Amino acid sequence: MKSLRNSVQLIGHLGKDPEVKVFNNSKKASFSIATTDTYKNQKGEKIADTQWHNVVIWGKLAEVAGKYLK
């Protein structure tokens, strides 16, 4: 059976610095990102809808995130 791999690209604002933990020689980083969608409603008013995303990454990417995301 083939392995499935999901990929998502989020562009937004970092909510907090990554929290990096080590598990059996592998690193895990967790942090939040806010993304905002802006649109006009039926009355023509500008509406901003902010969504918060909790992100967890592992391995070398977690190490890089812990070093550079501030």
pLDDT tens, residue by residue, 12-52: 999 999 999 998 889 999 999 999 999 999 999 999 999 99
Our measurement of the distance from residue 39's CA atom to the centroid of its chain's CA atoms, rounded to an integer in Å, reads 22
d(CA 17, CA 67): 10
Confidence of residue 3 (pLDDT cuts 50, 70, 90): confident
The residues, ordered by sequence, that sit 6+ positions from 3 with a Cβ below 8 Å of its Cβ are: none
Residue 55 has a pLDDT of 95
Distances 63 to 26, 51, 67 between C-alpha atoms, Å: 9, 25, 6
Q: Above 70 in pLDDT, residue 1?
A: no
The answer to pTM > 0.85 is no
Q: Where are the alpha helices (DSSP H) in the chain?
A: 59-68
